[in-house]
Amino acid sequence: MIRLDAVTMRYDEQGAPALDDVTLQVERGEFGFVVGASGSGKSTLMRLVIHEKVATSGSVLVAGQDLRALPERKVPALRRGIGVVFQDFRLLENKTVHQNVAFVLQVLGKRRHHIKQMVPETLDLVGLDGKGDRMPHELSGGEQQRVAIARAVVKKPAILLADEPTGNLDPETSAEIVRLLERINKTGTTVLVATHDHSIVDRLQRRVIELENGKLVRDEAVGGYGARTSRVTTTGGVD
């Protein structure tokens, strides 16, 4: 689903690379954490996958498409297939919960009856049933993140990328958000979560991809936040 081959990314020619010769692949339907200290390259990895940045060298394949060779006209279709969630929610403050989620489908030109069906269904999925008429400021942080997740998944993307989705939330709310991401993963969506949050990574015991100064230093099929002594590299088939 996502494959990086010897990917190096430099924001400027002189500086150290933000990603340094990274090779990894994430299969369709997988759930993985991307961990590492601040500045280790987690967000850069996500930016390459949504084609917001282009790798300096190496190749990035998403859903079988080599992003180096992706024509500009195909970028919107690539992004339609990827939902993104950030730490700071990024909701439209002057729109209701329902309108925030509906807006995504309106921009994609979906028909009214489709929007009318999908928005309540998605709000239900994220646990916001009955809160469609609230404004973002009338919601807790956890609820606002649920709206952001609803907005990311309402278009039924094959991939969901979450960059520090629990960074602004207390531990209990963080655990609920991660449970929601797991539920979305169970519907078949490939989920990658960049995080500093040790407790969620330790509790879930899922795949852990660890970056250090842009280098891939650990890729374990099952693991906690802290590095093990043996660093296992998982490899699998290509999608």
Ligand X SMILES: Nc1ncnc2c1ncn2[C@@H]1O[C@H](COP(=O)(O)OP(=O)(O)OP(=O)(O)O)[C@@H](O)[C@H]1O
Residues that bind ligand X (CB under 6 A): 11, 18, 36, 38-44
Q: Count the alpha carbons within 13 Å of 195 in the hemisphere toward its beta carbon.
A: 30
What does the alpha-carbon distance between residue 11 and residue 9 come to, in Å, rounded to a whole number? 7
7: its two tokens: 């990917």
Angstrom distance (rounded) from CA 116 to CA 102? 8
Beta strands in 122-236 (DSSP E): 159-163, 190-194, 206-212, 215-223
Min separation Cβ 33 and ligand X, Å: 13
Tallying the residues shown for the chain, one arrives at 239
Give 42 or 207: the residue with its C-beta nearer to ligand X.
Answer: 42
- CA 32 – CA 18 distance, rounded (Å): 20
Q: Looking at beta carbons only, is 29 or 167 nearer to ligand X? A: 167
- E strand segments, 57-166: 57-62, 65-66, 82-86, 159-163
160/161 with CB nearer ligand X: 161
CB of 112 to ligand X, least distance (A): 39
Question: Least Å distance between CB 3 and ligand X?
Answer: 19
Distance in angstroms (rounded) separating the CA atoms of residues 196 and 204? 14
Output 115 or 177, the one with its CB closest to ligand X.
Answer: 177
Residue 163 Cβ vs ligand X, minimum distance, rounded to whole Å? 7
Question: Minimum distance between the CB of residue 45 and ligand X, rounded to whole angstroms?
Answer: 7
Q: Which is nearer to ligand X, 47 or 155 (CB)?
A: 47
Q: Of 38 and 230, which has the nearer Cβ to ligand X?
A: 38
Distance CA 174, CA 170 (A): 6
Q: Give least dist CB 87 to ligand X, A.
A: 8
Q: How far apart are CA 36 and CA 18, in angstroms?
A: 12
Give the angle subtended at the CA of 161 by the CAs of 182 and 200, to the nearest 5°: 45
